[in-house]
Chains A and B, each alone.
Chain A
Amino acid sequence: MTSEQRADWLQLEAVTAVFDGFKALDIAHFGVDRGELRTVIGPNGAGKTTMCDVISGKTRPTTGRVHIGDHEVTGWADSAIAALGVGRKFQTPSVFDSLTVYQNMELALPGRRGIFSNLFRRESTAERDRIDHLLSRVHLISQRDGLARDLSHGQRQWLEISMLMVSGANLLLVDEPAAGLTDHETALTAELLLELKGQHTLIVIEHDMEFVRRLGGTVTCLCEGKVLAEGSLDAVSANEQVRTAYLGRGGERRS
């Protein structure tokens, strides 16, 4: 993918994010096609989460532009970007602990953002069926009316992904979905993400290379806020710069 291509659905153009003089993000161009599953890898502090923060509006870019679909969303409020269909799964699973699993899902239903519509409207039968179906899919249906605080770590991850699925978001930012999961749980998570591909555009941040391989697709490697390499996992991991970045500067000097 060359920088001349500008037909991407999600685009970051010359985006920098500077915190107290520290340039956490410095991306000349980053683009993702509609329906693509993009995996972002990179050593700690490479700016992966900051990039998600910029896309979702949690952090305003210092310079540059962010386009999602036909909208330029630079500087929009995070809830406005979310209303556009950008869903986010945090690094540590964040669900609503004091609500039941079902109520968590119900809150994620699309539309109905006004106060008065939320006072009187209830979910339709079709919406309920959709929620129950998704909960069955992630093996949470038996915990449907239990509180989310009683779920295990893996179950919380799935609940959060399911909330994104039910929200009708078309761009999903998924931060380390496999962190702290068992092998069996990781497999189901990968399966879920692959199902979402095509219908949704996904950006998945992950450290677990086995998991990245399972997801396939294009991999972008970030380092010190910059895009270091982009391509298939094999091509990226064969890249000399990427290898140096993962080994650290100390190794570079010694060689």
Chain B
Amino acid sequence: MGRMTFWGSATILRSAAFGLMTAAGLFLTQHGAEAAPKTAITVGMAIEPAGLDPTIAAPVAIGQVTWQNIFEGLTTIDKAGKVQPQLAESWQISEDGLTYTFKLRQGVKFHNGEAFDSSVAKFSIDRARGADSVNPQKRYFASIDTIETPDASTLVLKLKQPAGSLLYWLGWPSSVMVEPKSAADNKTTPIGTGPFKFSGWAKGSKVDLAKNPDYWNQAVSVKLDTAAFRFISDAQAQAAALKAGDVDAFPEFGAPELIKSFEGDKRLATVIGNTELKVVAGMNNTRKPFGDKKVRQALMMAVDRATVVEGAWSGFGTPIGSHYTPNDRGYKDLTGVYSYDPEKAKALLAEAGYPNGFTFTMKAPQMAYAQRTSQVLQAMFAEIGVTMNIETTEFPAKWVADVFKAGDYDMTIVAHAEPMDIDIYARDPYYFNYKNPAFNDVLKKVEATSDPAEQEALYGEAQTILANDAPALYLFVMPKLGVWDARVKGLWENEPIPSNVLTDVHWEE
């Protein structure tokens, strides 16, 4: 018995000692913080990137760590979603839209000391469009015919056909400039021209960045000396890490239902912005009964988008009527085209030959938003006599194999993350199996012009076609649930492209 008490108290003593030590540590760091503004930040992310080279793999987490921090492009995309010059200072587009002449910035050096010039730019683009390229957006370079480098600071792209979105595409993470000698190792040790250098990757835990003292852009003053991206997948653990101060910011917090728990905490700021993540219930347009436009329209009218947002994402999120977000240029609010009207939906269904409804299967990925949205939709479809069975599928692996590639599904739900991807409805094959030559023509016209106003009008047309045809049910845009220390300034509120740009981030004094 004596031994037992001894053991018991030893355990208690040990925990007490640990507790005291940690408490002392916290006390010390808090005191230190008052003396001078902090120059380090820990940013939380849900998903660890698969490698650190955005030019060879698709996961958005790669760009969220590296884009604009480590790597930069010829052009960039600002926080309003607009194209801005970056490593290309300026450019000229020929009358016919087939020749792009870029004037490149001089005196730019990569983190390994190598200079950036037109040969490097040519190398980067050739690497992305070559025969053995594994660039996830290789299609963006398909219009390029030849690349010329008349001198070190001039790059000329000759196109096969006009590509009105080229400058925008060149701003993407998958189009960043890489240096020939280091490119092959960028997956593990990325070398770019950005304001931060890669300094370490504790796999499974965090990626460390350090300020690049030789950053070319003297116009910006980078306040952070170091930055760490920490990967925490579990939403509860994310919340705990924020509350405990283990991470300073979670730009994309994972669980809307936990947002309320931050309300009382004065130390933390909650900033709700928007993203490019379009939650869309895609239908297999070649399968009965979804081949019938009336059926799709009826299903769209059976959906009360506000309730979906409430049920799936605690009321955070913006309803959409087409495959386009309020961030995107030329956005039109088309939620009124087929707004919630179950009676009309029933009538339309009867007109299409389904007075008693029908039964189909929803293949819903395991993510919370997809599961909850499916359940809300299930109840809404039941109102108009349509029975929806829910089958859970594993995203990405099984979903990509079964739904995306094999097209073996009736309906599915997924958040489309890529900005300005309305052209997916013109792709063949694509999992919606939507084929509309009129729509394809509109998108071809977008590329044929480089006049922004004309492009915006055409994007409006494309949105309207989709809203009317309803090849998929357009539900809502995911919010950007930003939670961070109230003293952290300079993080983007919205996300016109998946990113965590740290250039302007600083601690308020």
Q: Do A and B come from one complex?
A: no
Could you list which residues of chain B lie within 8 angstroms of chain A, going by C-beta atoms?
A: none
Could you list which residues of chain A lie within 8 angstroms of chain B, going by C-beta atoms?
A: none
